[in-house]
Amino acid sequence: MNYDVFISEAEVFINGSLQKSNLGIKDGLITYIGDQLYEAEQKINGQGQWVLPGLIDSQVHFREPGLIHKEDLMTGTKAAALGGITAILEMPNTKPSTSTKVSFEEKMSLAKNRCYVDYGFFIGATHENVNELKNLQNLPGCCGIKIFMGSSTGSLLLDDDQDLENVIAQTSAPISVHCEDERRLLDRKHLAENSKNVLSHPEWRDEESAFIATAKVVGLAKKYNRPVHVLHISSKKEIEFLEQAKDHNITVECLPQFLTLYAPDCYEKLGTRPQMNPPVRSVEHYQALLRALKNGVIDVIGSDHAPHTLEEKAKEYPQSPSGMPGVQTIVNLMLDKVLSGTITLERMLSLLCFKPIEIFKIKNRGPIQKGQVATLTIVDPNSKTTLMDQDMATKCGWTPYHGQTFKGKVSTTIISGQIVMQNGKILKNPIGQPLIYNRS
């Protein structure tokens, strides 16, 4: 048998653990797992490497259309492939917002043949489209509905309680929610405006702002027996609440940023670069989130890749925009958590692969087994990576981790049997396809 790609002598994640094995790929599928060696068009020496199911970043902002000086679908997905991410779910706070059939279909056509990894797009919920969402959610390529309960980058906002309840009650697609209470944000904005200092960012957008919104949306999910995915949990209070309140309908996302950075240190070192919504908070929140990472309250890690140029970031706070890039570094940051003993590899794969597949009902993705689509992330656990601004493919060209070294290295990204990235080089034209979903 001649394979298209053959990976030899790797540690392959099969049936819940790493097993020494060879892996053959033909016509985009995994067709051999075993100890025989075979010929292939392309061979990968897998010695010492971990072959993992393709990792997924379920929260990115790629800025196309409208803000492509920050990022576009090509540069964003190139950064994803370089970082070992094989699929992205992209947010609707573009310009215009992706909240109508026309804007959604335009994004799908912009993505065609321009994405290096597979992709899904969210449709944004607005006051105007509440009653149309039950149709919009079924547009081909739509991974779910995004609700901004508090305003952030862009104009998307759903701050009316009745609108929020209607969206939850009337739709069936996965819903990802940005939980910050708009009224409280408006009431407290003077704190940021008066201080003009980014150190007040977590004071303006305080943990109560996040908690009010999280508690509200969790209550509605229970009332309507409706799954809701709570994005970027940032505070101890939300974690303590979710530890009690979480049930089968509630899933929780956290970000690598909140598990690596804390205030005031990050703002003192990096100024407005780590400014984001919700904010990076003090060390007690960081510790609570790390506990939740270990004990399972957190289901998913997303990057919330939110590129802004350094010129924009250099504006005086609070004119400086919120958000950090992260799609290229998420795998490395989480791999470091595995190699440092904070979490197991199995847990990392749940956070970055199996839970996103389950929550968003992604078809044709899953554990490594014969017959499965050959979409894989290969990492070298014995190597290290120093993250550098100049190695970032994002148009914004920086990372909050510039100069820092993390354990492990992403070595290869394989999508549908094609080696898209190897050793830091993109080897293929964009071959990413829209993800498909098991939703009725």
Q: Which is nearer to ligand DOR, 66 or 367 (CB)?
A: 66
Shortest distance in whole angstroms from residue 325 CB to ligand DOR: 10
CB 32 within 8 A of CB 38: yes
Shortest distance in whole angstroms from residue 183 CB to ligand DOR: 17
Tell me which residue of 310, 294, 281 sits closest to 394, measured CA to CA: 310
Q: Which is nearer to ligand DOR, 234 or 377 (CB)?
A: 234
Sheet of strand 118-124, all strands in order from the earlier edge strand to the far edge: 55-60, 85-90, 118-124, 142-148, 175-178, 228-230, 250-254, 300-301
Q: Which is nearer to ligand DOR, 179 or 334 (CB)?
A: 179
360-381 core/surface letters (b: 16 or more CB in 10 A; e: else): bbbeebbebeeebbbbbbbbbb
User: Which one among 209, 322, 329, 394 touches ligand DOR, defined by CB under 6 A?
Assistant: 322
User: Which one among 83, 92, 202, 323 touches ligand DOR, defined by CB under 6 A?
Assistant: 323
User: Which one among 98, 103, 152, 200 touches ligand DOR, defined by CB under 6 A?
Assistant: 152
Tell me which residue of 50, 78, 70, 74 sits closest to 328, measured CA to CA: 78
For residues 396 to 435, the per-residue mask of contacts with ligand DOR, x marking binding by CB under 6 A and - elsewhere, is ----------------------------------------
Q: Which is nearer to ligand DOR, 60 or 374 (CB)?
A: 60
CB 413 within 8 A of CB 117: yes
Q: Is 94 in the site for ligand DOR (CB under 6 A)?
A: no
CB 337 within 8 A of CB 313: no
Q: Is residue 114 helix, strand or coil? A: coil
For residues 170 to 209, the per-residue mask of contacts with ligand DOR, x marking binding by CB under 6 A and - elsewhere, is --------x-------------------------------
Q: Which is nearer to ligand DOR, 26 or 395 (CB)?
A: 395
Give residues 14-73 in contact with ligand DOR (rule: CB under 6 A). 61
Shortest distance in whole angstroms from residue 153 CB to ligand DOR: 3
Q: Is 76 in the site for ligand DOR (CB under 6 A)?
A: no
Question: Roughly what angle, to the nearest 10 degrees, separates helices 207-223 and 236-245?
Answer: 20
User: Which one among 93, 98, 200, 411 touches ligand DOR, defined by CB under 6 A?
Assistant: 93
Residue 96 has a CB neighbour count (10 Å cut-off) of 15
Shortest distance in whole angstroms from residue 203 CB to ligand DOR: 16
Report angle CA 341, 343, 348 to the nearest 5 degrees.
130
**How many CA atoms lie less than 13 Å away from 94 in the CB half-sphere?**
27
Q: Which is nearer to ligand DOR, 323 or 356 (CB)?
A: 323
**Using CA atoms, how far apart are residues 260 and 256, in angstroms rounded to an integer?**
6
Q: Is residue 286 helix, strand or coil? A: helix
Which residues contact ligand DOR by CB under 6 A? 61, 93, 152-153, 178, 276-277, 306, 322-323
